């Protein structure tokens, strides 16, 4: 499984792992892969704390940081204040959200308890503050999602000797990213958890490989086993970029009620929905995603308004699920996850997942060799 990226990053296996959870990131890198921390969920101050923790616990192994700097936002959102953004959310949307919660008996947050910060890194200022923090640490890769990173971000990363990767859903986007100075393309198929396009990994990966050769491509979307890694490398990728598979590891901080849902989910139980962020993102299908598709739905809002409008509701839903996984409110609890949800049936340590991937990869390659291929 040695590819050019293994040498470049000094890693044993070209298995890149996206996670919002620092324990997963450190465990992946320590097991020979490459952990990448998703910065989106953190304030700049909290990101600093997470990265300091990783620096201390990763035994000198390399890791990266993933930021989200959307190239397109609701009109005027890029320069608006939080108050101005709040004012763009209609009363109809607010009422629909509250009605949906009431229908499912989701209680309000207790007095004084804060919901998730509603703006996070969705706007340029948030993304830039994440970059500032990330580049103060010894990161080995900066990754961006939702369009080409701003030129100054690429320039600053390169000045610091940090290569830049970016997620794409089409070969045309891959070319645009290369023109923007991005070094590594992550070809993310529609099977993937989180924001995705419409082209499958099987079809997208070789197109991106050809479009940007000789630049390296990581295949993403639907990869959680050694056979799938073998397939990705056969398609010309230099490695794999994974996300969903880590959600059910021992180190993951995904809420237990949602872990149980994932363990029982089939590959048909995910949906590409705008309900979470306003852009299509694959996630578990729940009462919440169904509500946004229902005739009563006012329709989703453009980024970053949809997340802002729903952030407190999501905190309430998670709290309801935590307090009672069988409550009506718990039916609304979900997570971004890809179609490999149907293959995630047990909770295992990160290290075991990586070793099983490596073993199964070896068996797949041997089988192909025996076939004279």
Ligand X SMILES: Cc1cc2nc3c(=O)[nH]c(=O)nc-3n(C[C@H](O)[C@H](O)[C@H](O)COP(=O)(O)O)c2cc1C
Summarize as ranges the residues that interact with ligand X (CB under 6 A). 18, 38, 40, 66, 68, 145, 167, 188, 191-194, 220-223, 241-245, 247, 335-338, 340
Strands 164-168 and 141-145: parallel
Closest distance between ligand X and the C-beta of residue 107, in Å? 25
Q: Are 35 and 25 in contact (CB under 8 A)?
A: yes
Q: Which is nearer to ligand X, 96 or 196 (CB)?
A: 196
**Structure-token pair, residue 144:** 């961006």
| Rounded (5°) CA angle 186-277-150 | 50
List the one residue out of 213, 220, 215, 166 whose CA is nearest residue 193. 220
CB atoms within 10 A of CB 349: 13
Closest distance between ligand X and the C-beta of residue 121, in Å? 8
Mention every residue, 6+ apart, whose C-beta is less than 8 A from residue 141. Answer: 9, 34, 36, 62, 63, 64, 65, 162, 163, 164, 165, 184
Q: Which is nearer to ligand X, 44 or 103 (CB)?
A: 44
Closest distance between ligand X and the C-beta of residue 255, in Å? 12
The residue nearest ligand X at its CB is 243
Q: Any idea of the CA torsion for 172, 177, 178, 181, to the nearest 10 degrees?
A: 160
Q: Which is nearer to ligand X, 121 or 329 (CB)?
A: 121
Q: Which is nearer to ligand X, 49 or 113 (CB)?
A: 49
Closest distance between ligand X and the C-beta of residue 213, in Å? 21
Q: Are 32 and 229 in contact (CB under 8 A)?
A: no
Tell the residue number behind the tokens 């959307």, with chain if given: 70
In 25-114 the beta strands, taken as DSSP E runs, fall at 34-38, 63-68
Closest distance between ligand X and the C-beta of residue 90, in Å? 26
Task: Please classify residue 345 by burial: count the beta carbons closer than 10 Å to its beta carbon, then call 0-12 exposed, 13-18 middle and 19+ buried.
Answer: exposed
Q: Which is nearer to ligand X, 188 or 238 (CB)?
A: 188
Q: Which is nearer to ligand X, 223 or 317 (CB)?
A: 223
List the one residue out of 70, 218, 54, 74 whose CA is nearest residue 134. 54
Q: Which is nearer to ligand X, 16 or 292 (CB)?
A: 16
Mention every residue, 6+ apart, whose C-beta is less than 8 A from residue 341. Answer: 244, 262, 265, 266, 267, 269, 270, 284
Q: Which is nearer to ligand X, 17 or 330 (CB)?
A: 17
Taking the C-alpha atoms of residue 260 and residue 283, their distance in angstroms, rounded to an integer, is 15
Q: Is 167 helix (H, G, I), strand (E, B) or coil?
A: strand
Closest distance between ligand X and the C-beta of residue 84, in Å? 24
Closest distance between ligand X and the C-beta of residue 370, in Å? 29
Closest distance between ligand X and the C-beta of residue 334, in Å? 10
């Amino acid at each position: 499984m040695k590819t050019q990226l293994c040498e470049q990053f000094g890693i044993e296996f070209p298995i890149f792992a996206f996670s919002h959870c620092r324990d997963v990131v450190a465990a992946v890198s320590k097991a020979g892969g490459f952990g990448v921390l998703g910065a989106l969920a953190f304030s700049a101050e909290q990101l600093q704390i997470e990265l300091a923790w990783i620096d201390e616990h990763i035994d000198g192994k390399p890791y990266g940081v993933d930021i989200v700097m959307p190239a397109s936002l609701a009109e005027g959102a890029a320069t608006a204040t939080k108050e101005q953004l709040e004012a763009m959310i209609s009363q109809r949307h607010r009422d629909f959200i509250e009605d949906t919660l009431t229908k499912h008996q989701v209680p309000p947050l207790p007095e004084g308890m804060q919901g998730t910060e509603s703006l996070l890194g969705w706007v340029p200022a948030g993304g830039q503050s994440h970059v500032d923090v990330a580049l103060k640490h010894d990161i080995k890769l900066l990754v961006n999602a939702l369009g080409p990173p701003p030129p100054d971000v690429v320039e600053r990363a390169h000045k610091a000797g940090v290569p830049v990767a970016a997620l794409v859903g089409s070969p045309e986007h891959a070319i645009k990213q290369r023109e923007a100075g991005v070094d590594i393309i992550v070809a993310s198929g529609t099977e993937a958890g989180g924001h995705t396009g419409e082209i499958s990994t099987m079809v997208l990966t070789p197109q991106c490989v050809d479009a940007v050769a000789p630049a390296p491509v990581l295949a993403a979307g639907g990869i959680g086993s050694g056979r799938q890694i073998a397939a990705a490398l056969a398609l010309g990728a230099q490695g794999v970029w994974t996300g969903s598979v880590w959600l059910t590891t021992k180190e993951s901080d995904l809420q237990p009620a949602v872990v149980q849902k994932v363990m029982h989910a089939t590959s048909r139980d995910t949906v590409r929905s705008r309900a979470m962020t306003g852009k299509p993102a694959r996630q578990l299908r729940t009462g919440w995603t169904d509500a946004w598709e229902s005739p009563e739905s006012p329709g989703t809002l453009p980024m970053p308004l949809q997340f802002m409008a729903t952030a407190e509701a999501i905190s309430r839903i998670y709290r309801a699920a935590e307090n009672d996984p069988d409550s009506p409110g718990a039916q609304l609890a979900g997570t971004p996850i890809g179609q490999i949800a149907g293959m995630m049936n047990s909770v295992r340590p990160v290290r075991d997942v990586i070793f099983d991937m490596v073993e199964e990869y070896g068996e797949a390659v041997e089988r192909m060799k025996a076939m004279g291929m």
